[in-house]
Amino acid sequence: MWLANNWKDYEVIDTSHGEKLERWGDYLLVRPDPQVIWNTPKNHFGWKKPNGHYYRSNKGGGEWDFNNLPQEWTIHYNELTFHLKPFSFKHTGLFPEQAANWDWFSELIKKSNRPIKVLNLFAYTGGATVSAAAAGASVTHVDASKGMVTWAKENACSSGLADAPIRWLVDDCIKFVQREIRRGNHYDAIIMDPPSYGRGPKGEIWKIEDNIFPFVELCSKLLSDDPLFFLINSYTTGLQPAVLSYMLNTVLNPIHKGVVEAQEIGIPISSNGLVLPCGASGRWTSC
């Protein structure tokens, strides 16, 4: 398992009864987590009165109960700064477990000793974008949500990357990739974090089980003659590490000689030294 274990402003303190107790900077949050199927004593004081507690509804969705939690605050990861705010669907605008991947590809970019063009698809609030830019890459950030792209720009500015070579695009990822192929553009690295389900701007349906493999095939046509890496993240139960590995091997290695690895990603739990699994990632790197 790949661990996001270099955080100072974030930690998973404890987990029990379908929930996790987290520290986000100075604030404690309790949020549901489907991986937490164990029932252990909730001894930490944070369980009793956190700054924010998201309760699931039996009818779907849920709602927050706040206790002295600001509408927005920031946390830091190394030299990066991220803006946080609670969403109506339990998220905060950041997936801390992805720091395991940020560290990995940042090191690849720094050691490449050449200009690296990165394409970040389904790029959300830009954790991977600002990490790659801070490592010295030029980045094209694509997300269909204007609000998410605006948020990502704020994260870049707060991280001292306002003038970094980042292209910010509000667009449907599939259609953008198709246009880039027609334009003859290429990238040295591709990052994608596709949703399990979604709809395009004209009602197009995205189901990851049906669409992810042809989309990876499509994206492979954008790779340069000397690609550096290809990263796929998955929070979908059916896309286990072995599936990600199979896709990357099948699509990329007949064209570009490289190495494929795939693992669960996770975050250490402070109270007991165990690890909370948080999805999976597949990584292809050139030999």
Q: Could you give the residue ranges of the DSSP H alpha helices within 79-172? A: 99-112, 127-134, 146-158
Find the CATH number of the domain harbouring 30. Answer: 2.60.40.1180
Please tell me whether residues 240 and 111 are part of one structural domain: yes
* Domain membership flag for residue 271: yes
Please tell me whether residues 43 and 100 are part of one structural domain: no
The pLDDT score that the predictor gives to residue 200 is 67
Please state, in angstroms and rounded to a whole number, the distance separating the CA atoms of residues 151 and 192. Answer: 18
* Domain membership flag for residue 2: no
Please state, in angstroms and rounded to a whole number, the distance separating the CA atoms of residues 158 and 160. Answer: 5
Continuous segment of H or E residues that includes residue 62:
strand 62-66
The pLDDT score that the predictor gives to residue 196 is 85
Continuous segment of H or E residues that includes residue 152:
helix 146-158
What is the CA 79 to chain-centroid distance, rounded? 18
Please tell me whether residues 53 and 151 are part of one structural domain: no
Please state, in angstroms and rounded to a whole number, the distance separating the CA atoms of residues 51 and 45. Answer: 12
276 exposed, middle or buried (CB, 10 Å; 0-12, 13-18, 19+)?
middle
In terms of residue numbers, what domain contains 57? 7-84
CB 223 within 8 A of CB 256: yes
Q: What's the average pLDDT block by block, 10 residues per block, for the chain (287 residues)?
A: 98 98 98 96 96 89 94 97 94 97 98 98 97 98 96 98 98 96 98 86 77 96 98 90 96 95 98 96 95
Residue 67 is given by DSSP the state S
Residue 150, token pair as written in the block: 């605006």
- What separation, in Å, do the N-terminal and C-terminal C-alpha atoms of the chain show? 22
Please tell me whether residues 143 and 259 are part of one structural domain: yes
* Domain membership flag for residue 248: yes
Last residue of a domain, one of 84, 115, 130: 84
* Domain membership flag for residue 91: no
CB 36 within 8 A of CB 18: yes
The pLDDT score that the predictor gives to residue 140 is 98
For the chain, the residue count is 287
* Domain membership flag for residue 260: yes
14: three-class secondary structure by DSSP = strand
Please state, in angstroms and rounded to a whole number, the distance separating the CA atoms of residues 39 and 131. Answer: 36
Residue 89, token pair as written in the block: 């669907």
Please state, in angstroms and rounded to a whole number, the distance separating the CA atoms of residues 189 and 140. Answer: 10
The pLDDT score that the predictor gives to residue 35 is 94
Last residue of a domain, one of 57, 84, 111: 84
Please tell me whether residues 188 and 273 are part of one structural domain: yes
